Structure 1
């Protein structure tokens, strides 16, 4: 972690490569110049980059962008919606070839936009886990579809057993479905139930909104895994993790 000066009573952050304290960035179509700018100030705080939903399909500088991330030692993966787009068209083998073509070491398996039997989803996880590191996403993108906590827990644990490296709690890029109500408010009871049965280091919580990030940092600590972070929110998030923003200022300094 980069520090310009010394402060006492600052939470200790994990260092890369991290299993916890993990930050996943959502790239929704950054240009190569924007990627360079982001990396110039925030590369220490980025663990992995998701090229959101199916933006990779229409990004004209995809190879160049992936090369920039690779040169910075930051892995990328393609959004789960793209995986679903291949599956619904019966093109799973083409998807696997795509991962090889772009030398991608990670893949996301999700079923937020399509109906996919859970056993079938786990089969895809198991097959891909032999080729790449798999992140599986749990939760629906349909705001009307409410999944009970017991099912969240069962889905997450089963997908980890199938070969997923980590499971992602769905929230979309706006943070208004899945783990959250339409207002962005955290379904806190759901989160606490999940944490009672799934190891915290195995979960990446999608939390694009500041209030959501603050909630998880206060609940799980500075080294909670967070995802769908906007490029311009990387440094602000790091200050939240370190108790150097008003939202978590006293949460840490009073305990250390």
Structure 2
């Protein structure tokens, strides 16, 4: 920090297992990635190359190296896993993990219909190659799952070998955990937290109001995902109670 302030909550230090921030890269250039880590590396733990952008983005290896050198773990969005699976190319997906030396891999079923037992088998297989982060929830806003279903799926995926669960919201923040307006489904969140340890969940929260909600609910060291690259510093000040929305949390 650049100067001293009293009554600022203690944040977990990197390498973190809790208080994680996952940032969404929707197609940044290598130069933009360099600028991003220059200001945000201390506050970023993971960067997800969103959905299937890794398939077409230029200078992929160079960009992955920028993130790794800054101590930020890159991984590819779960939609890429789904794109391989629906084409019966799962073994090719595993080869991609190996080719790019990915330490983390996302397994999801937000865009395809995948029996949950089959998804769990994929988690078990991918876990032999990389640490698995699995996503729960649909990208289809017409598919509303009851809380007990979320909990059942989450427990099964943890048992299958998932390291952290992502609670789905898309990059728009208006499905899954949230109503179409972006409002948090508070009853759903409360029921999940009654059954699943909060440190096991990365809550996708692209909107400031959603970030503030989870910081109020769980604290500075809540795991948050789908953060816009331009919002990393802003989010960290919110975590520390140094922004109007959380200013009185820690005084």
Place the TM-score, normalised by the shorter chain, in its bin: over 0.9
- Secondary structure of the residue that 1:243 maps to in structure 2? coil
Indicate whether 1:118 and 2:116 are aligned. yes
CA distance in 2, matches of 1:116, 1:61: 32
Aligned to 2:195: 197
Q: CA deviation at 1:81?
A: 0.4
Q: Which residue of 164, 167, 187 corresponds with 1:166?
A: 164
What's 1:150 paired with?
A: 148
Cα displacement string for residues 192-241 of structure 1 (whole angstroms, at most 9, x for unaligned residues)? 11000001000000000000000000000000000000111000000110
3-state secondary structure, aligned to 2:245: coil
Looking at structure 1, the residues matched to 250 and 213 of structure 2 have their Cα atoms a distance apart, in angstroms, of: 13
RMSD, aligned α-carbons: 0.6
Could you tell me how far 1:130 is from its partner in structure 2? 1.2
Q: CA deviation at 1:19?
A: 1.1
Partners of 1:70 and 1:14 lie apart in 2 by 20
Question: What is the match of residue 182 of structure 2?
Answer: 184
Task: Give the equivalent residue in structure 1 for 2:234.
Answer: 236
**C-alpha displacement of 1:251:** 1.8
Structure 1 residue 66, shift from structure 2 partner: 0.6
- In the other structure, the counterpart of 1:11 is 9
Alignment TM-score, normalising by the size of structure 2: 0.99
Post-superposition shift, 1:98? 0.5
CA drift at 1:153: 0.5
Offset from partner CA, 1:19-60 (integer Å, 9 cap, x none): 110000100000111111111111000101100000011101
1:1-256 matched pairs, under 5 angstroms? 3-253=1-251
1:121-152 deviation per Cα after TM superposition (whole angstroms, max 9, x unaligned): 00000011111000000000000000000010
Residues in 1 aligned to 2:159 and 2:15: alpha-carbon distance in whole angstroms: 23
Query: What whole-Å deviation, never above 9, does each CA across 1:53-89 have from its counterpart, x for those lacking one?
Result: 0001110111110111111121111000000000000
Please state whether the residue corresponding to 2:202 is helix, strand or coil: strand
Instruction: Provide the secondary structure at the position in 1 that maps to 2:215.
Output: helix
User: 1:6 Cα shift?
Assistant: 0.5
Partners in 1 of 2:55 and 2:150 — Cα distance?
30
Structure 2 residue runs of 5 or longer lacking an equivalent are none
Total equivalences in the alignment: 251
TM-score (normalizing by structure 1)? 0.97
User: What secondary structure is seen at the aligned counterpart in 1 of 2:23?
Assistant: strand
